[in-house]
């Protein structure tokens, strides 16, 4: 499937910026079942300083905001070719060893609610894939999808306690639970082509877990499926903080408003 993507992020600051640096993880990965046909990034009131590959094989672009700017806009456009891999990404690759995806982070540290959910699933390493599918269903059952109910600092345990969250929370709960029984797991940020609309208000997030004989396998808890050709992987990491689309530091003011527009649609291919 050939997907055309447009992603615009606009920051409005309360006062002119003295100095700001933004770290962007907005370039899709070239990986099994996915290739970039073209990709560009444009900036208003900012300039690109450098680009590098981080420890997770994410493409990171460092952008400096123009001094005195009140607004900054980052626009990404491109085309990505995807294939159906039944959610299987394959063998582990990257600068970090596989075992580094077993240790918990501050966002995935398990608590009583999470441990109780995992105990009810009766984990067996011989049935790891079956367990992971059951885990995905259990997370979706225990954390109802509700926009605006959580934030970027919400932990997996907090999402379980409140019983609601968004795709980021679903991924964190899944990752925390899988790691608690020794299954390497990671966070994925990316794009999803919706069947009912082109325009969206945010990017998407899901989880991947490592299964012997298959490698990394994706689980989109929010939609109850494994990723298909409608999904585009952009960044991976131990949790949201490693794969966040945009992070940075600002001196001299604070962010007043953030507006995101995402459009993903299938591009017809000539026969």
Q: Look up the pTM and report it.
A: 0.94
How many C-beta atoms surround the C-beta of residue 267 within 10 A? 13
Residue 176 has pLDDT above 90, yes or no: yes
Decide if 2-82+246-266 and 88-238 have a common fold.
Answer: no
∠ CA 225-262-231 to the nearest 5 degrees?
Answer: 25
Helix locations, 38-100, DSSP H: none
pLDDT on residue 233: 98
Tell me: pLDDT of 269 over 90.
no
Higher pLDDT, 209 or 32: 209
The answer to whether 136 and 224 have CB atoms below 8 angstroms apart is yes
Of 122, 123, 7, the C-alpha closest to 75 is 7
Question: What tens digit of pLDDT does each residue of 159-172 get?
Answer: 999 999 999 999 99
Strands (E), 117-254: 144-145, 164-165, 185-192, 199-200, 204-211, 215-219, 231-237, 246-251
In the chain, pLDDT over 90 holds for what percent of residues?
82
pLDDT in tens, 13-43: 888 888 889 999 999 999 989 999 999 999 9
Geometric angle at alpha carbon 187, from 186 and 192, rounded to 5°: 135
Query: Cα separation of 77 and 61, whole Å?
Result: 15
Mean pLDDT, the chain, rounded, equals 93
Q: In the numeric block, which tokens belong to residue 211?
A: 């299964």
> Which CATH code for domain 2-82+246-266?
2.60.40.2250
Domain spans in the chain, listed from the N-terminal domain onward: 2-82+246-266, 88-238
What mean pLDDT comes out for the span 125-129?
90
pLDDT at 253: 64
Q: Which of 90, 75, 77, 54 is nearest to 218 (CA)?
A: 90
- What is 88-238's CATH number? 3.10.620.30
- The lowest-confidence range among 23-32, 33-42, 223-232, 242-251 is 242-251
Token pair 């990752």 in the structure block, residue: 175
Query: In what helix (H) or strand (E) does residue 159 lie, and over which residues does it extend?
Result: helix 156-162
pLDDT tens digits, 76-87: 999 999 999 999
| Mean pLDDT across 241-266 | 86
Element housing 64 (H / E)? strand 59-65
Q: Which of 222, 262, 227 is nearest to 245 (CA)?
A: 262
């Amino acid at each position: 499937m050939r997907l055309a993507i447009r992603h615009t992020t606009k920051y409005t600051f309360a006062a002119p910026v003295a100095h700001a640096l933004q770290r962007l993880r907005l370039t899709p990965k070239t990986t099994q079942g996915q290739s970039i046909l073209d990709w560009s990034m444009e900036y208003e009131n900012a300039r690109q300083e450098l680009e590098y590959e981080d420890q997770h094989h994410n493409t990171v672009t460092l952008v400096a905001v123009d001094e005195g700017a009140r607004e900054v806009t980052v626009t990404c456009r491109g085309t990505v070719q995807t294939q159906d891999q039944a959610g299987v990404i394959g063998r582990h690759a990257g600068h970090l060893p596989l075992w580094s995806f077993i240790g918990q982070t501050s966002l995935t540290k398990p608590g009583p609610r999470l441990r109780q959910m995992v105990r009810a699933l009766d984990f067996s390493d011989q049935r790891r894939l079956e367990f992971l599918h059951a885990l995905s269903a259990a997370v979706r059952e225990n954390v109802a999808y509700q926009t605006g109910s959580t934030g970027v600092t919400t932990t997996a345990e907090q999402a379980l306690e409140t019983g609601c969250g968004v795709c980021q929370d679903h991924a964190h709960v899944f990752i925390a639970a899988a790691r608690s029984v020794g299954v390497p797991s990671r966070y994925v940020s990316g794009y999803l082509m919706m069947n009912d609309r082109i325009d969206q208000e945010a990017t998407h997030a899901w989880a991947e877990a490592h299964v012997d004989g298959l490698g990394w396998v994706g689980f989109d808890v929010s939609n109850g499926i494994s990723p298909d050709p409608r999904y585009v992987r952009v960044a991976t990491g131990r949790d949201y903080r490693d794969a966040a689309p945009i992070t940075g530091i600002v001196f001299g003011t604070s962010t007043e408003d953030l507006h995101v527009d995402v459009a993903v649609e299938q591009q017809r291919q000539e026969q």
